[in-house]
Amino acid sequence: MLEVNSHKHLKKYYQNNLALWPHNLTLTRLISRSLCRKDNTFIQLSSDSRNFWWPGLLIPLCLHNNSVVLILSERQCRLLFEVELPKLRSSRLDFDYVEGIELIPSEKKVWVLRYKDLVFANEKDLLKNRQLIFPESEFISSELRESMSIKITPKDWEDLIASRSRFESSLIEFHEHLSRSLFSHSVSSDTVIRIHHRELLALKEILKDDLPSAMPWKRALNAVNSDWVTWAKLDKRKLSWDWYFQPLLPLQTLSSLLSKNTLLMLTNVGQSDSFFLDLNSKKFTFTVKVNLGNKFDQEPIPLFVPKRQPLPNTSHFYRHSIRQCQRLILGRTRPTIILVDDLQLRLQMTSELAGDFGLRVVHQTTHIETNGIICCSCHWWIINQYNLPTPDQLIFPVIPLPTLESPWIAAKVEMLKHQGRDWFREFLFPETLSILIKSLAIIRGRDVRVAILDGRMHYRSWGKLIFEALEPWIALERLLPY
């Protein structure tokens, strides 16, 4: 009955709301079935679904909210509370929910948790026998990693020294020694430098059994193992640094929870993402696996990837990229998004393009002119794309392979090497495909041109796999006058 009722309510909902995605009726029946039968369900949505899938998920939850936990990112929470719930109320549908961990709801309410709340609820064993729903589940690993991150500031050092006065001289000496070592290895004003676990062990040895119970020190000192990566971010101007900690395998924290609870996962990427490869490695299985929408039914992307482009490690690659960007930008009447993950390269390109196009060029801001040019990282674009007008084009001067300059990426690669695994094909390349697909999801079907100016698209065997992942697309062999 839930399937039938959800189907009826969705059709009624669409009398007042334009149906922008043709598979929502199927989606709502699949979700209703999963809620009733408590199957482990994996639903892959086509990339043209954008945010149009929300009604297909929420309407069954309005009608059947028994022991359900909805886990959302901050952006998803804003969409839910500011956009989707007002639409449901206008259709006289009641989404009965409790948000956060301050109040544990009865089994008859949807429990809405952010990822940081999910970690806490799991630690306190509050999620027994509840069905867990993860929209956009391809973000689980990154959201967990950010939620579990620890940051030690200079103020935290002051608090530690003040609260452990009998160790004051040893703590000050340790901090000064570590500071000198870090700054001696810095090459720029905002350098990021890995810190070995032995430093944290040395600090723990100084404190002996008198370990602090206050956060964030309590969590940091418990993270002394190879499953965490730690680094310092230096500020040479202030001669200070912050100490960061992140879990190397955040999914392990939830492995018991995921294996014991019923799951419903929605994704826009599919199982090539490294998160799903991790799930498969743990022999995790879904009872129901469905692909909604055929990607070849979608509008193709106009793709400009000219042949004979230089490789990024050649001396003339930068000048070539700048010239191509200049040609691509000329005559465009809507925004251009230039996606570069490497900070130094991105700032260099921002500065040079600003010399040609003036105040049209900005760096990672949503305040732009009608034909503005935004230089940004892929992550920034993925998070902020919904707050920007539809661009004329996306330009990737370089394929967004995760950089080994990131402490977390480097540590994950080291771990896979140590295990004798193929770190490129199991981690870096799936992450690259995931980044590209997420970056292009919102622009498909909107007549937005995509340019990739990296010669590896044609000269590397894995370039062919990127072409396949971006399908459907139509090749732009040359730039025509606009």
Q: What is the pLDDT of residues 196-245, one digit of tens each?
A: 888 888 998 898 878 888 889 988 888 767 689 999 999 888 888 999 99
| Rounded alpha-carbon distances, angstroms, from residue 337 to 270, 332, 361, 375 | 25, 12, 10, 6
Question: Of the given ranges (29-33, 147-151, 285-289, 325-329), which has the lowest mean pLDDT?
Answer: 285-289
**Residue 336 clears pLDDT 50, i.e. is over it:** yes
In a domain, 482, yes or no: no
Q: Is the pLDDT of residue 350 over 90?
A: yes
Query: What residues contact residue 307 under an 8 Å CB cut-off, 6+ apart?
Result: 458
Q: Can you tell me the mean pLDDT for 2-29?
A: 81
Q: Is pLDDT at 26 greater than 50 in this prediction? A: yes
pLDDT at position 189 is 58
**Tens digits of residue pLDDT in 355-392:** 999 999 999 998 888 899 999 999 999 888 888 999 99
In a domain, residue 234? The reply is yes
Looking at the fold, whether 110 and 165 belong to one and the same domain comes out as: no
Q: Please give the residue range of the domain that contains residue 442.
A: 299-475
- How many residues does the structure list for the chain? 482
Q: What is the mean pLDDT of residues 120-148?
A: 89
The pairing of beta strand 41-45 with beta strand 263-267: parallel
Q: How far apart are the first and last CA of the chain?
A: 55
Percent of the chain with pLDDT over 90: 43
In a domain, 370, yes or no: yes
Q: Is beta strand 150-152 parallel, antiparallel or unpaired with respect to 240-247? A: antiparallel
In a shared domain, residues 365 and 396 = yes
What integer pLDDT is reported at residue 211 of this predicted model? Answer: 82
pLDDT for 152 beyond 90: yes
Q: 288 and 317, same structural domain?
A: no
**Mean pLDDT within 276-285:** 64
The yes-or-no verdict on residue 337 having pLDDT over 90 is: yes
- Examine the pLDDT at 133 and tell me if it is beyond 70: yes
Encode burial over 142-176: b for 16+ CB neighbours within 10 A, e otherwise. Answer: bbbbebbbbebeeebbeebbeebeebeebbeebbe
Nearest alpha carbon to residue 308 among 320, 319, 323: 320
In a domain, 481, yes or no: no
Q: What is the mean pLDDT of residues 81-86?
A: 91
Same domain, 435 and 466: yes
Give the residue among 282, 42, 277, 275 at the shortest CA–CA distance from 144.
Answer: 275
**Mean per-residue pLDDT over the chain, rounded:** 87
Residue 364: other Cβ atoms inside 10 A: 13
φ/ψ region of 339 (left if φ > 0, alpha if ψ in -120 to 50, else beta) reads beta
pLDDT value at residue 340:
96
Nearest-angstrom CA–CA distance, 3 and 60: 8
| Domain-embedded: residue 40 | yes
Same domain, 309 and 292: no
Q: What percent of the chain has pLDDT over 70?
A: 93
Q: What is the mean pLDDT of residues 351-357?
A: 94
Assess whether 133 and 12 both reside in one domain. Answer: yes
Average pLDDT over residues 67-89: 91
Are residues 304 and 275 part of one domain?
A: no
Domain boundary among 268, 296, 324: 296
One domain, residues 280 and 354: no
**Pair (27, 154) in one structural domain:** no
| Inside any domain, residue 480 | no
- Clarify whether residues 324 and 471 are in a common domain: yes
pLDDT given for residue 21 in this prediction: 75
Residue 111 and residue 105 in contact, taking contact as beta carbons nearer than 8 Å: yes
pLDDT at 273 over 90: no
Domain count, the chain: 3
244 contacts 231 by C-beta, under 8 angstroms: yes
Angstrom CA distances, 406 to 17, 250, 345, 401, 411, stand at 44, 16, 15, 11, 9
Q: Are residues 46 and 161 in the same domain?
A: no
406, part of any domain: yes
Helix (H) or strand (E) segment spanning residue 13:
helix 2-16
**The pLDDT of residue 118:** 94
CATH number of the domain encompassing residue 49: 3.40.50.300
Q: Is residue 193 part of a domain?
A: yes
Q: Which of 130-134, 156-160, 411-415, 477-481 has the lowest mean pLDDT?
A: 477-481
The one-character DSSP state at 390 is P
> In this model, does residue 107 exceed pLDDT 80?
no
Last residue of a domain, one of 234, 267, 296: 296
Q: Average pLDDT of 388-412?
A: 92
- The per-residue pLDDT for range 410-456, each reduced to its tens digit, is 999 998 999 899 999 888 998 898 889 889 888 887 889 999 999 99
Residue 482 — very low, low, confident or very high, per pLDDT cuts 50/70/90? Answer: very low
Q: Which two tokens stand for residue 363?
A: 């760096």
Which pLDDT band, with edges at 50, 70 and 90, does 463 fall under?
very high
Question: Do 336 and 458 sit in the same domain of this protein?
Answer: yes
